[in-house]
């Protein structure tokens, strides 16, 4: 049992689960717009997420020379290097316009992590901006890259899906910010730091209400897809209400990150 616990913890800390979540959202985009199963895009999302998240989590430790010389972290570094080459290979298969878009997301991630300006902190520590950068990065990778690489014409249904995807990602990040309230630097000015936990939960609930109401204007008829989205909104709302600063990291790192995975699994199963 102890071995399983350690393996599971490594799976989470090495960012494999969040990478699976990102991969799931890419596959949902491809399914929604009937795009081909472009493994270059989904692979880039998976490998790139591992590299990006591990870079964000462990870069500060390396630069401050507080990097713990433990086998686990050495293994994470090795797997991140492997993931980097995997992402680079997928990147080489992209259309030129997709490469440009992915570089833009990369620059945003680097800006989020590294201090580029003298006597200034990185973008992650700019007051109140963290949640918007994270949302933009996820929206770029999971929605824009698949559509751009498939050279799909932008129509009304794209904007509809973009709005819903933004509402979902923003709400999921709110869950993380609530759980991380005790450990986040007060200067971050995250949403719960500014308005409190209860108000943040209410904000997330309203976003999910708009997520469901948007289905009234959906470019598809009421049916299985709508029911799945309602279930997704209910699940996310429940997670928001259950979130609090005393929750363990399993609550956000596993359960919250599992929501896109379950969404994709439901769509995949019902489309068979």
Q: What is the CA radius of gyration of the chain?
A: 19
Calpha distance 43→89 (Å, rounded) = 9
Calpha distance 67→28 (Å, rounded) = 37
What local confidence, expressed as pLDDT, does residue 216 receive? 82
CA dihedral 20, 164, 181, 46 (to 10 degrees): 20
Inform me whether the pLDDT recorded for 118 exceeds 50: no
Confidence of residue 249 (pLDDT cuts 50, 70, 90): confident
Inform me whether the pLDDT recorded for 185 exceeds 80: no
Inform me whether the pLDDT recorded for 72 exceeds 80: no
Mean pLDDT of 157-186: 90
* pTM for the full predicted model: 0.90
Confidence of residue 110 (pLDDT cuts 50, 70, 90): confident
The neighbour count for residue 234, using CB atoms within 10 Å, is 12
């Amino acid at each position: 049992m102890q071995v399983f616990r350690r393996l599971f913890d490594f799976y989470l800390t090495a960012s494999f689960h969040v990478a699976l979540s990102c991969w799931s959202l890419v596959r949902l985009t491809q399914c929604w717009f009937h795009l081909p199963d472009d493994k270059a895009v989904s692979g880039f999302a998976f490998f790139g997420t591992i590299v990006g998240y591990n870079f964000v989590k462990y870069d500060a430790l390396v630069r401050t020379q507080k990097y713990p010389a433990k086998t686990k972290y050495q293994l994470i570094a090795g797997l991140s290097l492997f993931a980097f080459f995997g992402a680079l290979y997928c990147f080489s298969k992209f259309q030129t316009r997709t490469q440009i878009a992915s570089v833009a997301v990369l620059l945003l991630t680097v800006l989020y992590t590294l201090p580029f300006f003298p006597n200034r902190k990185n973008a992650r520590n700019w007051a109140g901006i963290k949640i918007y950068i994270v949302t933009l990065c996820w929206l770029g990778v999971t929605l824009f890259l698949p559509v751009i690489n498939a050279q799909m014409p932008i129509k009304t249904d794209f904007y509809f899906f973009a709005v819903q995807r933004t509402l979902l990602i923003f709400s999921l990040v709110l869950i993380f910010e609530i759980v991380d309230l005790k450990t986040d630097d007060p200067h971050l000015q995250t949403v719960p730091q500014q308005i409190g936990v209860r108000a943040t939960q209410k904000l997330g609930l309203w976003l999910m209400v708009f997520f469901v109401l948007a289905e009234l204007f959906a470019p598809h008829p009421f049916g299985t897809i709508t029911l799945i989205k309602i279930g997704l909104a209910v699940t996310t709302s429940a997670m928001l209400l259950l979130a609090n600063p005393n929750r363990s990291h399993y609550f956000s790192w596993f359960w919250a990150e599992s929501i896109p995975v379950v969404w994709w699994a439901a769509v995949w199963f019902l489309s068979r």
